Structure 1
Amino acid sequence: MDASRSDVLILGGGVIGLACAYFLLKSGATVRVLEQGTPGCGSSHGNCGTITPSHAPPLAMPGTLGVALRSMLRSDAPLYLNPRFDGPRLRWLLGFARHCNWRDFERAAQARSAILQRSRRLLAELVSSERIDCEFGEEGELYVYRTGRAYQADQRHHADVLDRLGIAVARWRGEEVEAREPALKAGVTGGLFHPGDARLRPDRYVAELAQRVQAMGGVIESGARIDGFGMQGDRIDHVRTTRGVFRGERIVMALGAWSPLLAKQLDLRLPMQPGKGYSITYSRPALAPRHAMVLREAAVCVTTWETGFRLGSTMEFSGYSEGLNRTRLDALRRGAAQSLHVAEGPDMQEEWWGWRPMSVDEVPLIGPSSRWSNLMLATAHGMLGVSMSAATGELVASMVNGGTPPLDPTPYAPSRFRV
């Protein structure tokens, strides 16, 4: 028996790849995961760890592109477009612009809602049944507003959309928000509370999920950078890595923001761009928010755990530029200080950046490739990889095994982009 061959070979050991591995192993498949670093070392590590059905409405709507173009003049803007020329990014932006209409907004919101709501339920079950120690909490998430203009805009483009999708959202007056959240400074105009949202510590969640995958018999090859592919007809025969050559009856590409780079070697053009995000992690302050929250005007996400406190978010389109941008980190601190009595914890533990895998229509690519008969894609989850992870893993496992899919896979099919 070829020890390098598995039923399923998963490319990528982030939260999506590990969730796929978990559900495939539960279905009885043999699984090997190839990870260029260590499990969860990419965007799975430093995101805000919120589980958010509330994020079903996409960014793409009329007016968003104008905001992005104006942001080229402000390097600290929550949505920032680096002004340098970049051909692939320009093509992506033109495609994104075509989706900035209300018809595509509604279509994307429905697709995102379906997978987010199923994943929310599955994730809670997974954490409980597997006894995953990741500081999971179900306190909900609160959007906080300091101006009436922002609050009214989100009533139309966020809260009313959630109502139509059947996702619970409560409208709170400013004084009610301040009473429920003593960590906030005075001057709150209103709040939108999402009781169905949850939070966890993502680095802990991914580490525990990797342990479960290995305990179930899965193999994780850390330090296995992919160098190339070997083809045989319309199939991927093998994957060449720095740790050797591996084969799988089925291949799952779950490489996050790296997916379009590797896909080029397979003659696939994935309509994706990296959206760079940042976070700062502290030890927990004495006066910490009771809920995960988003400070809407500043676009800063705040998450509190028993063991820490994180400020995160921002969206920077600067291609595959690496490294920390001090201007972006300072904007997180400044935005948090505008609303919180205590905006930083006693000890700063980590400053972090990561690439979010953004699809041109803000709907993930999940399903079989139309080019390669044994290739499955599970990528382009944008800012919602943790939130969508469990349902993605379940859906991939059902499609690999030929079972009845737990939700309609059509909206996520890669074939919509002919890949």
Structure 2
Amino acid sequence: MSDTSPVVIVGGGVIGAACAHYLTEAGRKVVILERDRFGAACSHGNCGLLSPSHILPPAEPGVFGEALKSLFKPNAPLRLAPRFDPGLWRWMAEFARRCNEPAALAAGRAIHPLLASSRALYDRLAGGELECEFAADGLLFAFQSAGAFKSFGHTDELLSKHFNAPARRLDGAELSEFEPALRPGLAGGWFYEGDAHLRPNVLMNSWRASLLARGVELREGIAVKGFRTENGRATAVHYEDAHGAAGEIEADAVVVAAGALTPDFQKALGVRVPVAPGKGYSLTLHLDEHEIDPAAVPKRPMLLPEVRVAVTPHAGGVSASGERRPAALRLGSVMEFAGYNPSIARRRLALLTRGASRFLDIPADPPADDHPTGDNRWAGWRPMTPDGVPLIGPVPGGRGVGGRNGRANNLYVAAGHNMLGLSMAPGTGRLIAELVTGAAPHLDPAPYAPGRFSRG
């Protein structure tokens, strides 16, 4: 290893991009190794929501019971596919143990500062070198039934009391006036004005160009196989390229930001990485091609908790480079624990359109054919942790591969962001850069410690 060895980032999603951004800002040389294409997984297919309102983790009271009921409902929005998978069973047991209010509030105290930091950093990024169709229009939760609308009031009370993050309550008639695109007769909604949204693929294309301009080396089609350690440090990364040829790159430090695939590095890292792939779907409807009346498109993003669907409008326009981006409506969400299955099931896409059509005047069934570019349908794996808190920071005693003493103190993890990778990316990247360079961290890193699941 030489003095000019780079920080090697394993993973070219939004988390890896943010880590590279802030490491280069701190003056470090960076190489990104991506097994597929930069920004091609969840960073591409998500709904583009930047949600400081999402303080409470997925493990909320009642969620586990809903998951168990889904075992017998193949078309349930939240689905646990029955199969022999002891690893998932263990993950589910840990998740179930946390489905209570005290655990949710404890997780929220870790999630909240990371979301707040990232939201503030996005204001700077979107106002500077990154193009992403950023819009600070807030986020609306809409409810069809009076019972669900009232029940969410307890969640809002928790957010207001413990995190000073209240929503604006909108009763039926007020909701219709606030968002005319919604169907009449809904019970009400809750509006979080501090949230924002952007267009994910535009962000990742812009971030790629920015990182390359900063001198970041990006290698795609690279499968990382492990790390060489010497004298207590990871000094190189072993990999195979797309043709199966082996290679090695020297490293001053290694950051594993591989999303739902981070468990592949568990043995090399030497800590337990309880990240389960929570499969999500999205469908992008281009207004001009799918004959959607612009009046049916909401003015701002919304969540429809009763059907577990997110709806994000994208205004489109022309980029700085002259590229035309059509106006579109992206539908997303659904949660399926079915292993690493990459298939896109039409019946799952139909859950998105049918769910959204209960609230908006859009087709109830997904289009029969794909968009010519092939990118209007997506399925991918969200990196879910049992406690809803990401793994960010140095790995205690990472093992590496083939080292003299088998330990490494310069291995870092930035993964397990659940459904909030986009919302948490800048804060994560900045924190990783601070930890790698020895700068004072702007957030307390203790709640995100990667070794917390290996203790005891």
Shift of 1:348: 5.8
- Find the residue that maps to 2:5 and give its secondary structure: strand
Contact 1:368 1:377 in 2 (8 A): yes
1:329 aligns with 2:349: yes
Query: Which residue of 2 is the match for residue 298 of structure 1?
Result: 307
- Among 189, 192, 203, the alignment partner of 1:205 is 203
Contact 1:367 1:414 in 2 (8 A): yes
Contact 1:75 1:328 in 2 (8 A): no
* Cα offsets for 1:118-163 (capped at 9, x unmatched): 1001011111121x22111011010000111111211112453244
- Among 391, 411, 436, the alignment partner of 1:365 is 391
Query: Which residue of 2 is the match for residue 269 of structure 1?
Result: 272
Contact 1:168 1:196 in 2 (8 A): no
**Distance in 1 separating the partners of 2:239 and 2:432:** 24
**Distance in 2 separating the partners of 1:159 and 1:202:** 31
- Find the residue that maps to 2:127 and give its secondary structure: helix
Contact 1:159 1:192 in 2 (8 A): no
1:398 aligns with 2:434: yes
- Among 165, 169, 172, the alignment partner of 1:171 is 169
**Distance in 1 separating the partners of 2:45 and 2:199:** 9
Query: Which residue of 1 is the match for residue 256 of structure 2?
Result: 253
Contact 1:9 1:31 in 2 (8 A): yes
- Find the residue that maps to 1:134 and give its secondary structure: coil
**Distance in 2 separating the partners of 1:348 and 1:124:** 34
- Find the residue that maps to 1:196 and give its secondary structure: coil
Amino acid at match of 2:257: A
Amino acid at match of 1:260: P
Q: Which is higher, the Rg of structure 1 or of structure 2?
A: 2
Contact 1:279 1:313 in 2 (8 A): yes
- Find the residue that maps to 1:251 and give its secondary structure: strand
Query: Which residue of 2 is the match for residue 380 of structure 1?
Result: 416
**Distance in 2 separating the partners of 1:106 and 1:388:** 18
Question: Alpha carbons of 1:267 and 1:405: their partners in 2 closer, same or farther (altered >3 Å)?
Answer: closer
Amino acid at match of 1:384: L
- Find the residue that maps to 2:396 and give its secondary structure: coil
**Distance in 2 separating the partners of 1:302 and 1:37:** 27
Shift of 1:381: 0.3
Query: Which residue of 2 is the match for residue 318 of structure 1?
Result: 338
Amino acid at match of 1:193: F
160-169 or 195-204: bigger deviation:
160-169
1:42 aligns with 2:41: yes
**Distance in 2 separating the partners of 1:338 and 1:116:** 30
**Distance in 1 separating the partners of 2:166 and 2:255:** 34
Contact 2:138 2:191 in 1 (8 A): yes
Runs of 4+ in structure 1 displaced over 4 angstroms?
343-348
Query: Which residue of 1 is the match for residue 382 of structure 2?
Result: 356
- Find the residue that maps to 2:439 and give its secondary structure: coil
* Cα offsets for 1:286-312 (capped at 9, x unmatched): 221101001121111000011321000
Query: Which residue of 1 is the match for residue 244 of structure 2?
Result: none
**Distance in 2 separating the partners of 1:154 and 1:133:** 35
* Cα offsets for 1:58-82 (capped at 9, x unmatched): 1213322111100111122121100
Contact 1:278 1:313 in 2 (8 A): yes
* Correspondence 1:65-76 to 2 at 5 A: 65-76=64-75
Percent of residue pairs bearing the same amino acid type: 41
Shift of 1:343: 4.6
Query: Which residue of 1 is the match for residue 111 of structure 2?
Result: 112
167-176 or 156-165: bigger deviation:
156-165
Shift of 1:110: 1.5
Contact 1:163 1:169 in 2 (8 A): no
TM-score (norm 1): 0.95
**Distance in 2 separating the partners of 1:270 and 1:2:** 30
**Distance in 2 separating the partners of 1:407 and 1:317:** 32
* Cα offsets for 1:86-133 (capped at 9, x unmatched): 111111111111212222111111111110011001011111121x22
Amino acid at match of 1:370: P
Contact 1:229 1:240 in 2 (8 A): yes
Shift of 1:240: 1.6
Query: Which residue of 1 is the match for residue 191 of structure 2?
Result: 193
Q: CA RMSD in A?
A: 1.9
Contact 1:54 1:162 in 2 (8 A): no
Amino acid at match of 1:115: L
TM-score (norm 2): 0.88
Question: Alpha carbons of 1:374 and 1:92: their partners in 2 closer, same or farther (altered >3 Å)?
Answer: same
Query: Which residue of 1 is the match for residue 227 of structure 2?
Result: 229
Q: For structure 1, which runs of at least 5 residues remain unmatched after alignment?
A: none
Amino acid at match of 1:75: P
Shift of 1:180: 1.9
- The number of equivalent residue pairs is 417
Query: Which residue of 1 is the match for residue 282 of structure 2?
Result: 279
Query: Which residue of 1 is the match for residue 154 of structure 2?
Result: 156
**Distance in 2 separating the partners of 1:163 and 1:135:** 33
335-344 or 32-41: bigger deviation:
335-344
Contact 1:280 1:348 in 2 (8 A): no
